[in-house]
């Protein structure tokens, strides 16, 4: 059987490829640069379904939670296949409020979480500091979410690349796909040097760049745009040793086991601009410093701007597209790392069985096509 052709080697494309290869399918993953160096590399690796959603996004919320539940097994299998750790950490997350306004917003989030039977705890500022001593003395309140975990997204990428290739998948880095040629039986991709590669299916998983791949009819293209996030990396130095992911009203901090401390992130509609700006870093640092003042003395070791792939409704596009033989797995916005296991499992299942599982039905790419039947 011709290979499944995956356009985009971020965490989503690589993990779909790995799941398929390990099930015995031929698969080729194409990335225009080094695989995984887009949003996947520039993220913070937080597995936090609660803190980044609007309350009305209930379908996405359930999807996020299901993916979170799949993470431990995904890690076990990935680490075994790749022979390396992805630094999955389960200390949990503290969502904190630094004034009365944010304490009220936090209380609404807590009530919402309790309504959905989440095992979260409401802590006073003092109780929160007993859990995480590096929190600012002035914090009013916190939610302790013990089940909101994290992973080192850069280690995740490295492991997925090894696991994909160990399972027999092909990774073609620095190989831009210029065009997709849709076809129900024999779709293909055309590379920028003109080479045509035939496949049994094409998966478009190119994140913020998904809309720019040629070959799809205009209204079949995924309505995905980049949303810029500026971040920076600090190096923790003892006695500073933050243990929990901490999220405040204006910034989050995610400590990794090798001492990296990620502080993020702005949210800017700037197209494909990835300039790091003084104002962006200032906002993120101020937001981080207000909730964890001990970061003040830490060395800055890296700064960057990543591009989150966002759709019009902020939910991903997963499943058959209106273009024959082309499946989308894109538009994961703030949740790409969190949604990796469920996206990989359900897209691999769709490709193996032809069945769309109820988990991905609400995220069908066809919701953005005016007349899917006519376009198919
Ligand atoms: N998920 C982290 C962010 O969007 O900044």
Domains of the chain (ranges; CATH) run 4-55+153-223+312-375 (3.50.50.60), 93-146+225-310 (3.30.9.10)
Is residue 26 exposed (0-12), middle (13-18) or buried (19+ Cβ within 10 Å)?
Answer: middle
Structure tokens at 94: 């503290």
Report whether residue 161 contacts ligand 1, using a CB cutoff of 6 Å. Answer: no
In which order are the strands placed within the sheet that holds 196-198? 177-181, 188-191, 196-198
Per the rule left: phi > 0, alpha: psi between -120 and 50, beta: everything else, 39 is: alpha
Report whether residue 44 contacts ligand 1, using a CB cutoff of 6 Å. Answer: yes
Question: If residue 225 lies in a helix (H) or strand (E), which one and from where to where?
Answer: strand 225-235
CA distance 233 to 302: 5
- Ligand 1 centre and the CA of 324: distance in Å? 32
pLDDT at 375: 43
Instruction: Show the CA angle centred on residue 173, arms to residues 167 and 179, nearest 5°.
Output: 105
| Closest ligand 1 atom, residue 52 Cα | 1
CA distance 364 to 376: 14
pLDDT under 50: residue ranges of the chain: 373-376
CA distance 37 to 131: 34
**Please, what sign has the CA dihedral across residues 213, 59, 54, 244?**
negative
Instruction: Specify the residue with its C-alpha closest to ligand 1, atom 1.
Output: 334
State percent of the chain over pLDDT 90: 87
- What is residue 293's DSSP assignment? G
pLDDT at 54: 64
| Closest ligand 1 atom, residue 264 Cα | 5
pLDDT at 119: 82
| Closest ligand 1 atom, residue 229 Cα | 5
pLDDT digits (tens, 9 = 90+) for 122-176: 999 999 999 999 999 999 899 999 989 999 999 999 999 999 999 999 999 999 9
HSE-up (13 A, CA, CB side) for residue 327 = 28
CA distance 127 to 369: 50
Strands (E), 250-310: 252-255, 260-264, 300-310
Instruction: Specify the residue with its C-alpha closest to ligand 1, atom 4.
Output: 334
Instruction: Specify the residue with its C-alpha closest to ligand 1, atom 5.
Output: 265
Q: Give the residue from 153, 129, 149 showing the smallest Cα distance to 141.
A: 129
Per the rule left: phi > 0, alpha: psi between -120 and 50, beta: everything else, 315 is: beta
Report whether residue 334 contacts ligand 1, using a CB cutoff of 6 Å. Answer: yes
């Amino acid at each position: 059987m011709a290979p499944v052709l995956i356009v985009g080697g971020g965490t989503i494309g690589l993990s779909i490829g790995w799941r398929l290869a390990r099930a015995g399918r031929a698969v080729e993953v194409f990335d225009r640069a080094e695989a995984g160096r887009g949003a996947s590399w520039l993220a913070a690796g937080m597995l936090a379904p609660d803190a980044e959603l609007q309350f009305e996004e209930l379908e996405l919320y359930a999807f996020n939670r299901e993916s979170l539940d799949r993470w431990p097994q995904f890690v076990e299998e990935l680490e075994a296949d790749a022979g390396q750790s992805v630094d999955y950490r389960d200390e949990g997350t503290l969502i904190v409020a630094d004034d009365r306004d944010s304490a009220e917003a936090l209380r609404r989030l807590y009530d919402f979480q309790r309504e959905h039977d989440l095992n979260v705890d409401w802590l006073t500022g003092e109780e929160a500091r007993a859990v995480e001593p590096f929190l600012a003395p002035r914090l009013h309140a916190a939610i302790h979410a013990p089940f909101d975990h994290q992973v080192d997204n850069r280690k995740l990428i490295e492991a997925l690349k090894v696991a994909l290739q160990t399972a027999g998948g092909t990774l073609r880095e620095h190989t831009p796909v210029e065009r997709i040629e849709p076809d129900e039986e024999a779709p293909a991709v055309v590379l920028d040097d003109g080479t045509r590669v035939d496949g049994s299916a094409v998966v478009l998983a190119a994140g913020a760049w998904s809309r720019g791949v040629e070959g799809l009819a205009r209204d079949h293209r995924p309505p995905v745009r980049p949303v810029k996030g500026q971040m920076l990396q600090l190096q923790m130095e003892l006695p500073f040793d933050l243990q929990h992911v901490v999220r405040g009203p204006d910034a989050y901090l995610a400590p990794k086991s090798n001492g990296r401390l990620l502080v993020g992130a702005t949210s800017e509609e700037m197209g494909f601009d990835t300039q790091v700006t003084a104002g962006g870093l200032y906002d993120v640092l101020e937001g981080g410093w207000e909730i964890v003042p001990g970061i003040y003395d830490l060395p800055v070791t890296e700064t960057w701007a990543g591009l989150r792939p966002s759709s019009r409704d902020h939910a991903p596009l997963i499943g058959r597209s209106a273009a024959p033989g082309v499946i989308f797995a894109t538009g994961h916005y703030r949740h790409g790392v969190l949604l990796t296991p469920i996206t990989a499992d359900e897209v691999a299942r769709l490709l193996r069985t032809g069945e769309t599982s109820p988990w991905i039905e609400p995220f069908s790419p066809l919701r953005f096509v005016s007349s899917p039947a006519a376009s198919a």
